[in-house]
Structures are given as structure tokens and as C-alpha cells.
Amino acid sequence: MPIQQFVSSISESKLTQGVLYAALFVGVYKLTIFSLSTIALISDLFILPSTDLKKYGAKGGKTWAVVTGASDGIGKEYAFQLASRGFNIVLISRTQSKLEAIGEELASKFGVETKIIAFDASVDEEANYETISKSIAELPVTVLINNVGQSHSIPVPFLETNDKELRDIITINNTATLKITQAVTPRILETVKESKKKYRGLILTMGSFGGLLPTPYLATYSGSKAFLQAWSAALAGELKPEGIDVELIVSYLVTSAMSKIRRSSATIPTPKQFVKSVLGSVGRRGGAQERFATSTPFWAHALMHFAIENSVGTFSSIANKLNFSMHKSIRIRALKKIEKNKKQL
């Protein structure tokens, strides 16, 4: 039955018919957008080949990548996988001895050059950022990985968050990330210009499901990561015409010291699995189909992100309540464990 006949059969009122036509148009539009997003999601995750990082200077042995939070977990893995692609590495983290060991291993295993910059990101001192600028002043830097970050020790109500933890989260996740980006990006711009646009620049910043979904009991951390989403997308708009690609990388849990999870699963990858998914899909959105300059690259995280966004929504009361219940439960278990450990002392 033609659409016109179908609508006419329901009502002879012109007003009602107009409403029905509008509803059909919106429905077709929504279905089309959803279908195209689903196709793009599947293509990004399972069909398209890995991104070739040569456009950022990989395999040449001449370009440098700066990696923050590089002494453990995801940051350390970024350093290893970028070095395996031929990037020389600037390692930034707090512990000098760990950085020295990693630097020696990278040089021995991949034949790359390394530089080490050790400082505590929770201490917001201008001298730290000046040291970065001076250390990379003569290096052809094309890549910055903003991986340094901190969460709460355990889920905690905002009003009970101690002052040091609150300040450290904001300083490390936001202030230090922005200031490091200000210190490194001018050198990336110079490298792109000096190469006569042979290379592009790349800035990847670690986001989180905690920033994707407002997360009760992790309110400060959640807010800090949501800030990075808006900042990173805005920066992407500014720097794209200058030859620098900027992406926020969204992840669910990964086995790491920060997550306190040791065993991997289908939804919780190892740092190696996660970083491989990030570097293999630069420029694609994965599960973040609705967000500019954002990627949710690991397949399980991507499907979770896409499902939440296209069902209850990331800012819905349902998602908020579920997050509240989950993190309240985690807090209760964590407090019981702390009490048990106290009794054993």
C-alpha cells in the first residue's frame, strides 16, 4: 500500500495526516542514521585494515613520540608499541629508576633513542613544563600520548573525598595534561612545517567511561575525564588545519595498577591488547560514532559504548542509577576488605 493511501486510511484530517508524515520522516531519518552508524561501527572494528602510522613518521627512525605516565601499564605499553613502529621515545613519569630501565629496554629491543623526564605530575610547577620544552627543543616530535592520570583509591561520595585526592585528580588529569600539551604541541607544529607536511602530528589523550557516563562515587574523576572530552574535541578543531590530528580515547576497564584489576576478560583487555586497538584504529571512531575527534577502539568497549548511546543514553537517569548501584557496591566491598586487612595486622 502506498504511503499516501496508508496515511489517508488512518485519518482524513489534514492536521493528523501532517503529523503522521512528519513522524514517518523522523522515523526514516533516525533509522537511516542508526543503520549508517552501525555499518561504520562494524567496519571500524572488524573490517578495515590497521591504520598505517607512516603519516606520523613511523618506521623512519627519525621522529619522536612523547609518552606521559610511561612507567607502568598503558603508558609503558604505548612506549613499547610506538618504539616497535620505529618512533624514538620521550618517557615522562614520576619514577626515574623505572624510566631508566624502560629506556634501556626500548633501546636494546628496538634500536631506538630515548629521553627521560622524571617529575611528579601532581605538583603543578612551571619548571616541570619548561624542562619538557627544553628537552624536546631540537627533536622532530610528531606524536604526544597524554596518558598520565589518576582516579580515586576506592569509590567515594563526593562530600567525603579528601582534599589531597580531589586536588591530585584535577591537577594530574587536567592541569598537567593541558600544560604538557602546551609544552609539546609547538614542537609538533614545527616538525610538521619543517617536513613540508610530509608528516602529520598526532595527539592522543586518554579518556574513560567515567567521563562518558556521569559516575556517582567517582564524581571528581568523572568530571575530570568529561572535561578532557570537551577540551580534546575543541583542540581537534583548532589543530586539524595545522596538520595535527587530535583524538580522545575512551576506554572501559583495562588491567592496570589504577584499575586494580589483574585478570583480563572479554571486556577487560590487557594494556597490550588495548594499545594495539588504539594504534591500529587512529582516525576511526569505533563505538564513539556520535562524537567528533573521539574513539572507543577496543571492540568490547566499542559495542558497550554504542549500545548505551543508542538505548538509554549516556546522560539518562537509568544509566546514572545503574552506575550509582554498581559503584556503591564496589565501595562496600572495598571498605570490608580494608577492615579485614586492618584486623590481620
Indicate the annotated binding residues for substrate.
208
Cell numbers 565501595 correspond to 331
What pLDDT was estimated at residue 1?
A: 56
Mark whether 129 is an active-site residue.
no
Q: How confident is the model at residue 259 (pLDDT cuts 50, 70, 90)?
A: confident
Mean pLDDT over 174-194 rounds to 98
Query: Does pLDDT of 260 surpass 90?
Result: no
Summarised one tens digit per residue, pLDDT across range 225-236 is: 999 999 999 999
CATH topology of domain 47-336: Rossmann fold (3.40.50)
Summarised one tens digit per residue, pLDDT across range 272-322 is: 999 999 999 999 999 999 999 999 999 999 999 999 999 999 999 999 999
Output the CA–CA distances (angstroms, integers) from residue 27 to 11, 18, 228, 285, in the order listed.
19, 14, 33, 24
pTM for this predicted structure:
0.94
Would you give the end-to-end CA distance of the chain in angstroms? Answer: 78
Any idea where the domains of the chain sit in the sequence?
47-336
Indicate the annotated binding residues.
208
Catalytic residue among 56, 199, 221, 252: 221
Characterize the bridge pairing of strands 114-118 and 141-146: unpaired
Q: How confident is the model at residue 73 (pLDDT cuts 50, 70, 90)?
A: very high
Measured in residues, the chain has a length of: 345
Here the cell at position 335 is: 571498605
Q: What pairs with residue 203 in β-bridges?
A: 144, 246
Q: How far apart are CA 301 and CA 170, in angstroms?
A: 25
- State the chain's mean pLDDT as an integer: 95
Query: Does pLDDT of 218 surpass 60?
Result: yes
Rounded (10°) CA dihedral 240, 248, 55, 136: 90
What pLDDT was estimated at residue 197?
A: 81
Query: Does pLDDT of 211 surpass 90?
Result: yes
Q: Which of 341, 336, 345, 284 is nearest to 43 (CA)?
A: 284
Q: How far apart are CA 291 and CA 228, in angstroms?
A: 13
Half-sphere exposure of 332 (CA within 13 A, CB side): 6
**Distance, CA of 294 to chain centre:** 8
Q: How far apart are CA 277 and CA 281, in angstroms?
A: 6
What pLDDT was estimated at residue 300?
A: 98
Summarised one tens digit per residue, pLDDT across range 98-107 is: 999 999 999 9
Here the cell at position 35 is: 543503520
What pLDDT was estimated at residue 36?
A: 97
